[in-house]
Amino acid sequence: MIKTIQRKGPTRILSEYIAAKRYEDIPATVREKIKILLLDSLGCSIGGSTLKPGKMILSFFEGLGGINESSIHATGRKIPCIHAGYVNSALSNILDFDDTLIDKGIGHPGATVVHPALAVAEKVSGHGKDILNAICLGYELSVKILNAMAPTPERMKQVWGLATFQIFGAVTASCKLLGFDADRIASAFGLAGFCAPVPFVRKIGTVERPTSWLKNNFGWTSMGGVMSALQAAEGFQGSTYILDGDKSFWIMAGSDQYDFEELTRGLGEDYKFIEKISFKPYAVCRFTHTAIDALKMIKSKHTISPKDIARIKAETFYEAFKFSTYRGLNIIEAQYSLPYVIALELLDRSPSQGLSERDLDDEDVLRIADLVSLEVDPDTERLFVEQHLMPSSITIEMKNGQSVQGKAEIPRGDLRKPLSDEEIIQKFRDIVWPLLGENNAERIIRDCMNLDMSQGPLRVHLD
């Protein structure tokens, strides 16, 4: 299914809009939300350096060497701009603590907007307002493209690719910081569309194991977006119609529908896209969060001793159910495993600061996980698809025959149950203090909150 209107194509409409957009056009409330999104994504990237896959990414790219252009947030090491885009984006998703979009489309837009913007800004010495403007545009284009090209629920169960669509957020932010006109933006969009990874999410963590440590492959997405912009800056030509027509990017990316009006509606006027971005209080897959919330509800009313538990029943929706692995987990698989997450919460090891690799083979954790049975509730699945709810019901049966139950439909941090700015800032502190120290963490917070006053790029590590 495709809705099109015979007039100036969407690639050109969006390119002209991006080229003309000024920081002064952004409402004050949206500017403040962008700063919080920036800070949260920085914290996730720094924290991702602590996990084994993150350490391997750092080692690989630092070993490549190259021109010192842009910084790795976690270490301060300078590497080529396109490599910094890869590393910082990949690390921000490795921890599984990064912001989320669940609307018509599903994604983690911050990972492929914030870090390309910061990498390019450092290369070209972009000012604070320029950075915030570029990040705002990157989020807007990410949300619009995800929603306009999101497949139907039936198709999404077959083909789904977050990184595939999010490359346009990366190239948008990069183009804006490079000061492109509409012609060059359209060309960069065409290059980015050809660099986008295939929609591979249905190959992650279902029946096949081990799960790929690339996760959503956001590192490649960001590197492709930055590289496309830098190539366009040199005059390298790309298709200038990548988003236009019945053979354009939506069908290339595996979708079965494309809504032209959704893609171009409300540009520069409707900022609801920013309200759709939500924050995560737990460093595990968003689809497991209502199970954690349900357990917290139970624990607030009852004293549960793990040794007295006979069995645990979890009723949930398909996306949470499909990652039903119990044992032999690596750190990435653990982030998706509902039995493992339930066990951590019941043992008071809530993933509010990230998972610990030492817990993967912990016998107490594995014993509780083995007690969990999962079931997909058809009504729950319908609520997920139609209302973007994530209902989870947890029933704990004790060895003495008693049972307790908790339910949750909307995860904490969702736009309908939002975290406060102070909670998000404290999340940053909890991640960054142990790694960079209190003084550096507090300086970064101040610099992000005052970035529109800066005459240079944001510096996580001082030279």
Look up tokens 């025959």; give the residue: 401
**Residue 3: its pLDDT value, please?**
45
> How do residues 192-251 score in pLDDT, each as one tens digit?
999 999 998 877 655 567 788 988 999 999 999 999 999 999 999 999 999 999 999 999
Tell me which residues of the chain have a pLDDT lower than 70.
1-7, 204-208, 323-326, 463
Distance between CA atoms of 20 and 180, rounded to whole angstroms? 10
Angle of the 438-449 helix axis to the 28-48 helix axis, nearest 10: 150
| Cα distances (angstroms) measured from residue 5 to each of 1, 18, 146, 244, 374 | 14, 21, 19, 10, 46
Provide the whole-model pTM: 0.94
Contact 322, 384 (CB under 8 A): no
Residue 6: the pLDDT is 41
Domains by residue range for the chain, with CATH: 2-280+426-453 (1.10.4100.10), 286-408 (3.30.1330.120)
Distance CA 193, CA 176 (A): 17
Residue 162 and residue 108 in contact, taking contact as beta carbons nearer than 8 Å: yes
pLDDT score at 207: 53
User: What's the pLDDT score for residue 4?
Assistant: 40
Q: Is the dihedral of CA 132, 283, 44, 156 positive or negative?
A: negative
pLDDT for position 2: 45
The pLDDT assigned to 463 comes to 65
What is the pLDDT at residue 5? 38
How far, in Å, CA of 201 to CA of 388, rounded? 19
Number of H helices, E strands in the chain: 21, 11
List phi, psi (to 5°) of 437. Answer: 90, 155
Cα–Cα distance measured from residue 245 to residue 164, given in angstroms and rounded to the nearest whole number: 18
